[in-house]
Amino acid sequence: MNNENNNSNLTKRVIVGIIAIPLLLLLIYAGGKYFTGFLLLVEIICLYEFLNMFGNKNFYPLKIFTIIFSVIIYFAIFSNLIAPIPTITIFFVFIFTIEIFRTDKLNPLNPFLSFAGIFYVTVPAILLALIRSNGEQEAGFYRILMIFILIWLCDTFAYFGGKLFGKNKLTDISPGKTVEGSVTGFLFAVISGIVMHFIFQNHISFKDGLIVGLIIGIFGQTGDLLESSLKRFCDIKDSSNIIPGHGGMLDRFDSLLFVSPLIYIYFFYIKSFI
């Protein structure tokens, strides 16, 4: 029975991959409003999943209100019509005010989860869109392409490295992960970043490939473990079942969201100094 379920999940994952990967590459290449709109959709779904998963622990943040404000914040960044800092401040005040007057599922910690969701999901999605849109168009394309490829390779080789060589458990958060698998994922992320420099020499520098590989090799896996710890706390297996064979959107984008602020800081604040 387990083998049948595993085979069924594998088939679903392959079918989803065949459809999703070319579409994702097309959106990355198109950039502009297409990639930004895609990330907005991802952000909305991931934020909903994040806020929804705490129901098992009797936390009920105001999901729709939080998502509406997250969209407003998103548009505030990409337009000159709304200032983002005042928008976040207003959200902070409103979310606590509304919570106080709730007659059902009142909990003073609910607003903190809403605020955490904005910084855990919305802000990283915005920064990822800015990596694609800021600077030269070609540079943004190759940077995002590198990030997605390295995260996929890190996850893939961490999985197979654990299957082939895994003996020592990495953490109690995710019992299936091993030290050997984690090291394998890290090494392939770094090596692949360097290889991408040699494939796209005119667009990805050796320094960029190395540093982005290091960030993803370390913190991409940290992001995966963070989401695993949240699911473990909430007693759920997946953030949702929206993607056949893969679970939820947050399950697929946890590493990407976690590393995007660090990569943004590197490209736009640190890169010119090293």
Helices 63-77 and 84-100, packing angle to 10 deg: 170
Return the number of other C-beta atoms located less than 10 Å from residue 14's C-beta.
Answer: 11
Exposure string over 126-160, b if 16+ CB within 10 A, otherwise e: bbbbbbbbeeeeebbbbbbbbbbbbbbbbbebbbe
Per-residue pLDDT tens digits for 150-172: 999 999 999 999 999 989 999 98
pLDDT at position 267: 95
Confidence check: pLDDT of 92 > 70: yes
pLDDT at position 245: 72
CA dihedral (26, 30, 34, 38) positive or negative:
positive
Question: What pLDDT band is residue 3 in, cutting at 50, 70 and 90?
Answer: low
Per-residue pLDDT averaged across 185-193, rounded?
Answer: 97
Of residues 153 and 243, more confidently modeled: 153
d(CA 112, CA 120): 12
Per-residue pLDDT averaged across 213-227, rounded?
Answer: 97
Ranges 33-42, 135-144, 182-191, 236-245: which has the least confidence: 135-144
Per-residue pLDDT tens digits for 15-58: 877 888 899 999 999 998 999 999 999 999 999 999 999 999 99
Q: Which sequence spans correspond to the domains of the chain? A: 31-133, 137-274
Ranges 96-100, 134-138, 169-173, 189-193: which has the least confidence: 134-138
DSSP 134: S
Confidence check: pLDDT of 5 > 60: no
* Range of 72-76, 132-136, 187-191, 235-239 with top mean pLDDT: 187-191
Confidence check: pLDDT of 137 > 80: no
Question: What pLDDT band is residue 6 in, cutting at 50, 70 and 90?
Answer: low
Mean pLDDT of the chain: 90
Evaluate if pTM is beyond 0.85.
yes
Confidence check: pLDDT of 175 > 90: no
pLDDT at position 8: 59
